[in-house]
Amino acid sequence: MQREQRIDVLLATSITTGVLGQWLVTSYDVADGLHVASPLMALPEWAPATWLLQTLPVFFFASGYAHGQSSSPPRLRKMLIFLLAWTAGTAVLSVNGFSLATIGEIVGTAFQPLWFLVPYLLLTAISPWLRRAVLRYGWTTALVPAVCVALVDFVRFTWPSSGWLGYVNAVSAWAVPFLLGLAWRQGRINGAWLLGGGGMLAAALIALGDYPTSMVDVPGAPMSNVAPPTAALLAFGCAQCGLAALAGDRLGRRTAGSRITVVISDAAFPLFLWHQTALALISLVTVRLGPVAGLTSPPTSATWLTLRLAWMPVCAMTLIGLLVLTRPANPRRRLPRGRRL
């Protein structure tokens, strides 16, 4: 499959921004017993900033475009390595005296990426069928999962006892940008309409509905736009897809791109899979030191956010180390070069 610079740029940008954003809004606070916290709990006025940090719709959009020509096999081996590593990690935490409640918080945060990567694996696995549907019906194919998201939200908000239905959105909400990416490859979407319509709908749902402003998960919040995905996140995602399409059209279909965007694009899947584990590992290594400013101290001020930025290089180096250690062995036969999400 021939590389395209714009897809490498979109994938690299979405994953890098998403990972940095999660590192900014996630903290393992050890001031009063280890628990997962977020600066958004103490600084709710910063919630609109998460609109810049939540870039996963672009990841699914670019992935849909990339699978519009051919499909790559699901990265199940990488997922298995991750699960085995955390099985061992859970045992280590238990032996070192961490309570079941604390272990549950740590593992729950480390497993957050699976909310997005499991649907990604499913969508890429069935991409040949989705590709044929888009060839026949164009961008309107995305209306099916979009309507499903709206109906699920209506039912679970009207009858709170049916809240479990929200898990249906874990697939249908991410299918929309994936299908839009397939349609973009065929030149069958209008980026300006997606940007304007999605943005206005997202703003209306947040202003007039019961949807939270934050586009990332906030521990302890009564409701999340992410887990499970909501119609507000879907509308926001459509706006992002429109912006990505406009930016991609400006770049055109050039094949030459920078080495760094190619590397990040190829490693997009494991980068997102392991990024919360990297933060957890750094925090657990320093836990006996007590609260460390910007890392495991209470995230209650803008100063904490500034200090957290100083920890970003450490998080990045730890993440790179994890990717090197957990990289599956290369197969004996060299495979043709393609996009390895």
pLDDT tens string 228-271: 899 999 999 999 999 999 999 988 777 766 889 999 999 999 99
Helix (H, G, I), strand (E, B) or coil at 31: strand
Cβ-based neighbours of 175, under 8 Å, separated by 6 or more: 119, 123, 130, 142, 145
- Intervals of the chain under pLDDT 70: 1-2, 70-74, 256-257, 329-341
Q: Do 247 and 10 contact (CB within 8 A), yes or no?
A: yes
In a domain, 336, yes or no: no
CA distance 196 to 320: 37
* Full-model pTM: 0.91
Check residue 97 and give its pLDDT.
Answer: 87
In a domain, 340, yes or no: no
33 forms beta bridges with 31
Check residue 169 and give its pLDDT.
Answer: 92
Check residue 330 and give its pLDDT.
Answer: 61
Domain hosting 21: range is: 5-325
Helix (H, G, I), strand (E, B) or coil at 148: helix
In a domain, 339, yes or no: no
Check residue 73 and give its pLDDT.
Answer: 66
Strand intervals (E) in the chain = 27-29, 35-37
Q: In the chain, how many domains are there?
A: 1
pLDDT in tens, 51-64: 999 999 999 999 99
Cβ-based neighbours of 72, under 8 Å, separated by 6 or more: 124, 338, 339, 340, 341
In a domain, 338, yes or no: no
Check residue 258 and give its pLDDT.
Answer: 81
In a domain, 79, yes or no: yes
In a domain, 330, yes or no: no
Check residue 3 and give its pLDDT.
Answer: 78
Q: Do 315 and 282 contact (CB within 8 A), yes or no?
A: yes
Give the number of other Cβ atoms within 10 Å of residue 110's Cβ: 24
Check residue 336 and give its pLDDT.
Answer: 41
In a domain, 341, yes or no: no
Check residue 298 and give its pLDDT.
Answer: 93
In a domain, 333, yes or no: no
Check residue 91 and give its pLDDT.
Answer: 95
